[in-house]
């Protein structure tokens, strides 16, 4: 573990209980029935605990998008070719993607980090953090080296630190990369101990036959690489992705610097799961892990059309949608 990563993890602290009590007491003084605002009240108290002040301040907003390609696409796990990844990034740069619309609507800047796109994007107005041009095919061997996984995590840490210099109050996470639901499902399967079929979905809308192949690819990748479920960095290196690792760093930095994060979707929440499994060397878990099993994070089961929500906990260092 590097100095930057270790330093970040060691600075993660529990939410400020005093600030949360003051925020809750203030809610009871407002002209409304108790708990009338429902989840909004819970979120406001959680925000108070994160920022360590009775009245949280949310002004400066950003959306961090990690972009990277995945070598496992060679196994036919996606309905789209890898060439779509750089095209999507350039569309975001041009302001034409859905995330750009959301960003404009909520007043948040979109910060795109090329952490591993398999294309030359040097002329694009983005963060140039490329670790390598896409991961290797995890069905044949490790997706990346441990060093590369750590570097990707640190990319997310540095992104948050630099955005904080601009006054960052809150950040949302996102990613772009063809094949990343395969890597995400593999990470869930390893960290949760659940079988691959239970945590794998159709991703970009693949057929039932392709889904069976996707599951088989994930099972093969896990068997070939034997990732250590107790070592999240090892899991990221062997069956994860550069975009997922980058988001892990984003979460760790925000937890250490008391910046609330909004997570949404399978891949963002998989990265949050991996971040919560990180521990300082020789010490107790730095981030409180929820008791419910990992597969009960925002898990989508496309075959049944159902989704189970991420556990709602007011003492989490992150916000979930």
pLDDT in tens, 279-291: 654 333 333 333 3
**pLDDT given at position 319:** 57
Task: Note the pLDDT of residue 300.
Answer: 36
The domain at 61-320 falls in which architecture? 3-Layer(aba) Sandwich (3.40)
Digitized pLDDT (tens) for each residue of the chain, 321 residues in all: 689 999 999 999 889 999 999 999 999 999 999 889 998 998 899 999 999 999 999 999 999 999 999 999 999 999 999 999 999 999 999 999 999 999 999 999 999 999 999 999 999 999 999 999 999 999 999 999 999 999 999 999 999 999 999 999 999 999 999 999 999 999 999 999 999 999 999 988 899 999 999 999 999 999 999 999 999 999 999 999 999 999 999 999 999 999 999 988 889 999 999 999 986 543 333 333 333 333 334 433 333 333 333 334 555 655 554
Angle, CA of 293, 210 and 221, to the nearest 5°? 55
pLDDT at 13: 86
Say how far apart CA 186 and CA 106 lie, in whole Å.
33
Nearest by Cα to 194 from 269, 291, 295: 295
Place of tokens 């930095």: 253
204 φ, ψ (degrees, to nearest 5): -80, 15
- 225 phi, psi to nearest 5 deg: -95, -25
Cα diameter, the chain:
62
Q: What pLDDT score was predicted for residue 1?
A: 66
> How many CA atoms lie less than 13 Å away from 43 in the CB half-sphere?
12
Q: What is the pLDDT of residue 298?
A: 40
Contact, 182 vs 216, CB < 8 A? no
Positive or negative torsion for Cα 167, 271, 72, 176: negative
Distance CA 186, CA 81 (A): 20
Question: How many Å apart are CA 55 and CA 16, to the nearest integer?
Answer: 13
The helix/strand/coil state of 64 is strand
Residue ranges of the chain assigned to CATH 3.40.50.10210: 61-320
SS3 178: coil
What are residue 277's phi and psi, to 5 degrees? -85, -5
What is the rounded CA–CA span in Å between residue 69 and residue 118? 6
Q: What is the pLDDT of residue 58?
A: 94
Q: Tell me 79's DSSP state.
A: S
> What is the gyration radius of the CA atoms in the chain, in angstroms?
19
Q: Decide if 232 contacts 244 (C-beta within 8 A).
A: no
How do beta strands 306-308 and 299-301 pair? antiparallel
pLDDT given for residue 294 in this prediction: 35
The pLDDT score that the predictor gives to residue 204 is 83
- Contact (Cβ atoms closer than 8 angstroms) between residue 48 and residue 258: no
Q: How many CB atoms lie within 10 A of CB 21?
A: 14
Look at residue 18 in the predicted model and tell me its pLDDT.
Answer: 97
């Amino acid at each position: 573990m590097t100095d930057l990563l270790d330093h970040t993890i060691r600075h993660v602290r529990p939410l400020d209980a005093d600030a949360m009590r003051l925020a809750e007491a203030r809610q009871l003084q407002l002209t409304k029935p108790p708990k009338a605002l429902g989840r909004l009240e819970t979120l406001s108290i959680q925000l108070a605990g994160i920022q360590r002040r009775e009245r949280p301040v949310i002004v400066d907003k950003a959306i961090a998008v990690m972009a990277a390609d995945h070598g496992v696409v060679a196994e036919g796990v996606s309905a789209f070719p890898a060439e779509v990844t750089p095209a999507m990034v350039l569309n975001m740069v041009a302001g034409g993607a859905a995330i750009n619309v959301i960003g404009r609507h909520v007043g948040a800047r979109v910060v795109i980090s090329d952490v591993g796109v398999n294309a030359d994007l040097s002329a694009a107005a983005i963060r140039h953090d490329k670790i390598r041009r896409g991961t290797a095919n995890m069905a044949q061997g490790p997706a990346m080296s441990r060093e590369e996984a750590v570097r990707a995590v640190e990319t997310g840490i540095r992104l948050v630190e630099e955005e904080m210099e601009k006054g960052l109050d809150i950040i949302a996470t996102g990613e772009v990369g063809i094949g990343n639901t395969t890597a995400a499902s593999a990470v869930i399967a390893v960290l949760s101990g659940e079988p691959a079929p239970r945590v794998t979905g159709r991703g970009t809308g693949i057929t039932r036959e392709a889904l069976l192949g996707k599951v088989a690819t994930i099972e093969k990748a896990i068997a070939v690489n034997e990732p250590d479920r107790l070592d999240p960095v090892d899991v990221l290196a062997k069956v994860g992705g550069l975009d997922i690792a980058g988001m892990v760093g984003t979460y760790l930095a925000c937890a250490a610097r008391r910046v609330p994060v909004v997570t949404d979707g399978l891949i963002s929440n998989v990265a949050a799961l991996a971040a919560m499994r990180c521990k300082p060397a020789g010490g107790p878990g730095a981030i409180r892990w929820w008791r419910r099993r990992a597969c009960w994070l925002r898990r989508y089961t496309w075959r049944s059309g159902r989704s189970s929500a991420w556990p709602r906990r007011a003492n989490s260092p992150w916000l979930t949608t």
